[in-house]
Structures are given as C-alpha cells and as structure tokens.
Amino acid sequence: KAGVTQTPRYLIKTRGQQVTLSCSPISGHRSVSWYQQTPGQGLQFLFEYFSETQRNKGNFPGRFSGRQFSNSRSEMNVSTLELGDSALYLCASSLGPDNEQFFGPGTRLTVL
Amino acid sequence: QKEVEQNSGPLSVPEGAIASLNCTYSDRVSQSFFWYRQYSGKSPELIMSIYSNGDKEDGRFTAQLNKASQYVSLLIRDSQPSDSATYLCAVNGGFKTIFGAGTRLFVKA
C-alpha cells in the first residue's frame, strides 16, 4: 500500500511570492491534516480536511489556505511569503478525523 | 499553558534499560492519543495509539493513559541505540491533533 506522498519535496522561493504544496493521502483515507515544523516551534497544526471540508484551522494568518478534492488529495497555499515561512510542511492522512495519522515525507520550503 | 507538554530532554539511558517518556495535556475532551518517533531529517512515524485508560503493549513499547490526570506515557523496554530519536506525544479531539514539542532520547551503547 503506497504511503502519503507530497510534492514537491524542496522549494526555494523569494519573499512576496506564493507557493502551492500538494499531498496525496493513503488510498482510502479521507482525512488530511497539514502541519508546519520549525526547530523553534515544533509541529504546529495548520488545518484538517475531511470530505472536502475544512473542519478545523490552527492559529495561522489568512495567507495560509488549503483545500481538499473529491479524491481526498489536498493542496495548501501560502501567499505573500515571508522569511518566517521557511519550514518543513508535513501532510498526514488518516481514515477519519480521530484516527491514527500517517505522515508524508514533507516539503522543505526555503524563503529567501 | 501549552496544550500538550513534554519534557524536552535530552533523556539519556544506557542500552538495555527502560526509557520512560511522559506527556500531559490540557483539553479534557481529548479522545485519542498517539506517540510518534521522529529521526533527524525524517517525518514522524507512528509508534502507538491509545484511546482508553490503562496500558497498551506492542512489542517493546507500552503506552499508558490516565484521562483523570490528563497524562500519557510511553515506556520503551530493552532500549537500543536505534531508539535514539525525538518522541512526539499527540492528542486529538475536535478535528484537531496537537503535538507536544517532543522529548529527545539518547540510548548509549
């Protein structure tokens, strides 16, 4: 069974640009969560999607957004990038919102 | 107060010893509890999940949950150098999973 895949694996952007990250969950999983991981802040919850609906959102500015498609694949978008957005962005999928989550390899975003 | 708290460590134990990792959480309505292991440069890997009070054993790992005390722990028996990693406690409730900052474990050969 294929695991969670994330693309791209690495990204370098400059301040002010926008970026879109993609996540394909494990087959049959309907819930996708996104996290930002930095050395100083650890794993911070961004948002969770279930059945194409955002069910919860973490404490991040509106520049961070996401969506989920009917095949459960998800994308997150960050607009007007800031230096502080440099981080590892992790996607995790689960059967449902309260189930075990399985992480993808992450997308390493560097903002210059 | 942080929602999920862990001692950041590092926790250092000799090979073959028991490593004990602890976690407390603040949201009483939390229903699902997880332990993840994260090696440097890698994404978190699920070790254990626990949903009801008591102990749950899986190989060398035992998770313990006490909802009244809002406390979750992970015991690693016969610790191996390959267990050296950061261990993350995660608590789920209300379409949201909150992770602790993690405890760094070093197992000395």
Tens of pLDDT along chain B (109 residues)? 568 999 888 999 999 999 999 999 998 888 899 999 999 989 999 999 999 999 999 999 999 999 999 999 999 999 999 999 999 999 997 778 899 999 999 999 9
What are the tokens at B59? 């190989």
Give yes or no for A34 touching B (CB within 8 A). Answer: no
Nearest to B66 by CA among B9, B23, B5: B23
Pairs of CB atoms within 8 A across A/B: 48
DSSP-derived pairing of the beta strands B103-108 and B11-14: parallel
Please count the CA atoms within 13 angstroms of the CA of A7 that sit on its side-chain side: 2
Written as one letter, the residue type at B66 is: N
List of chain A residues whose C-beta atoms are within 8 Å of the C-beta of residue B102: 42
Cβ–Cβ < 8 Å for B36, B45: yes
Query: Residue A101 and residue B34: Cβ atoms within 8 Å?
Result: yes
**What residues in B contact A30, CB-CB < 8 Å?**
none
Q: In this complex, do B99 and A104 lie within 8 Å of one another by their Cβ atoms?
A: no
pLDDT tens readout for residues A75-91:
999 999 999 999 999 99
Q: Which of B109, B107, B97 is nearest to B21 (CA)?
A: B107
Distances (CA, A) of B63 to A86, B28, B66: 34, 19, 10
Q: Which two tokens stand for residue A43?
A: 């794993």
Say whether residue B54 is in contact with chain A using an 8 A CB cutoff: no
What is the sign, positive or negative, of the torsion defined by CA atoms of B99, A94, A68, B26? Answer: negative
What tokens were used for B79?
A: 């610790």
How much is the pLDDT for A53?
94
- Mapped onto helix, strand or coil, the DSSP state of residue A24 is strand
Distance from CA of B93 to the nearest CA of A (A): 7
Per-residue pLDDT, B30: 82
Per residue in A35-47, pLDDT tens?
A: 999 987 889 999 9
Any chain A CB within 8 A of the CB of B44?
yes
Where are any strands of DSSP class E within chain A?
5-7, 10-13, 19-24, 31-38, 42-50, 53-57, 64-68, 74-78, 87-94, 102-103, 107-111
Return the pLDDT at A97.
Answer: 83
